[in-house]
């Protein structure tokens, strides 16, 4: 019989138990990231090389070949390369995409933890999200360094990008708990979430500026959980307008989703062993 992370129905226990299992979380996140680059000659160097290569590809395709121009008056610096803008948005997107795509199968693929080992099952979605958070943070750090080198400066608000990034991580964690619990009982979710991830990608201002969206459809962007963190992080790095009030509301919503996702996971956890 497995145990969950924290007391059942007690969201505050989540923070206490997360601190208790911090060494285990670190070890599992380290292993999860290591598995991505196992048997590779450059090992952890790929954490930097991979996003760097992607950035070069985006820059070449969209700037050199397609000659795309990012017409968004929100940026105070008009010399920001399109590839850098796109790469920033996609780096944020992968944080939520990992939770959507990997979490539905995370419990069903770890039956030994469910049936044979006393293990805090709620850690498994956390490992997915924390690993994605590390990769996203590295990619955004690369964006900042290249912006300083290529453009010459970044916005004074750049250090605060950690706030919308962590808010999105909290939301992704809540969604991950929902998906992980539902994925045990409804295996078809594994087939649905990749399509949902794609929909979220193209209904957020990631590959295009929000000014290109017709006004009657522009309001729909607000319902995409990626819109606010993507827009805010870009504005904080490249210079532009953003609202602390909107960001604060988003953080509150993200916290609610995280807590309710945890409670939902704990509610359904009792039946995992029977189903698996």
Please list the alpha-helical segments (H only) found in the chain.
Answer: 11-20, 22-36, 46-59, 82-102, 111-115, 123-150, 162-185, 189-202, 215-218, 227-238, 244-269, 272-275
The whole-number average pLDDT for the span 1-10 is: 49
Alpha-carbon span 236 to 86, nearest angstrom: 15
The whole-number average pLDDT for the span 113-118 is: 70
- Residue 275 maps to a domain: no
- Residue 105 maps to a domain: yes
Domain count, the chain: 1
Alpha-carbon span 233 to 92, nearest angstrom: 9
In three-state secondary structure terms, 44 is helix
pLDDT at 36 over 90: no
- Residue 6 maps to a domain: no
Q: Mind listing the pLDDT tens digit for each residue in 143-199?
A: 999 888 887 788 889 999 999 999 999 999 999 999 999 999 998 898 899 999 999
Please name the residue that has the structure tokens 């609202």: 243
> What global pTM score does this model have?
0.86
- Residue 2 maps to a domain: no
- Residue 60 maps to a domain: yes
Could you give the percent of the chain with pLDDT greater than 90?
A: 40
Tokens for 31, please give them.
Answer: 């292993």
Domain that holds residue 171: 11-270
- Residue 4 maps to a domain: no
Please enumerate, as own/partner, the contacts of 185-194 that have beta carbons within 8 Å and a separation of 24 or more: 185/268, 185/271, 185/275, 187/108, 189/104, 190/104, 190/105, 193/100, 193/101, 193/104, 194/100, 194/101
Most confident of 18-32, 87-101, 207-221: 87-101
Alpha-carbon span 255 to 9, nearest angstrom: 16
Q: Mind listing the pLDDT tens digit for each residue in 199-243?
A: 999 899 888 888 788 877 777 788 899 999 999 999 999 888 889
Q: What is the pLDDT of residue 2?
A: 44
Q: Mind listing the pLDDT tens digit for each residue in 59-77?
A: 777 666 666 666 655 565 5
Q: Which residue has the higher pLDDT, 39 or 204?
A: 204
Q: Among 7-16, 26-35, 85-94, which stretch is predicted with the lowest mean pLDDT?
A: 7-16
- Residue 1 maps to a domain: no
- Residue 3 maps to a domain: no
């Amino acid at each position: 019989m497995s145990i969950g992370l924290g007391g059942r129905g007690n969201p505050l226990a989540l923070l206490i138990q997360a601190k208790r299992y911090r060494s285990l979380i670190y070890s599992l996140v380290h292993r999860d990231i290591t598995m991505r680059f196992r048997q590779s000659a450059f090992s952890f160097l790929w954490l930097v090389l991979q996003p760097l290569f992607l950035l070069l590809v985006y820059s070449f395709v969209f700037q050199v070949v397609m000659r795309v121009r990012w017409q968004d008056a929100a940026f105070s610096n008009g010399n920001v390369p399109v590839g850098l803008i796109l790469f920033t948005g996609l780096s944020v997107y992968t944080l939520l995409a990992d939770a959507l795509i990997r979490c539905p199968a995370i419990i069903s693929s770890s039956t030994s933890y469910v049936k044979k080992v006393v293990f805090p099952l709620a850690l498994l979605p956390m490992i997915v999200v924390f690993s994605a958070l590390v990769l996203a943070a590295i990619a955004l750090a690369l964006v900042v360094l290249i912006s300083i080198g290529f453009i010459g400066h970044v916005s004074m608000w750049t250090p605060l990008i950690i706030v919308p990034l962590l808010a999105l991580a909290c939301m992704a964690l809540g969604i991950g708990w929902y998906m992980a619990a539902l994925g045990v009982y409804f295996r078809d979710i594994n087939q649905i979430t990749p399509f949902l991830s794609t929909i979220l990608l193209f209904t957020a201002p990631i590959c295009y500026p929000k000014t290109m969206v017709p006004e009657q459809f522009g309001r729909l962007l607000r319902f995409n959980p990626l819109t606010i963190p993507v827009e805010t992080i870009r504005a904080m790095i490249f210079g532009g307008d953003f609202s602390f009030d909107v960001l604060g509301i988003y953080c509150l919503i993200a916290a609610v989703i995280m807590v309710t996702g945890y409670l939902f996971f704990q509610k359904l956890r009792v039946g995992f062993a029977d189903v698996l």
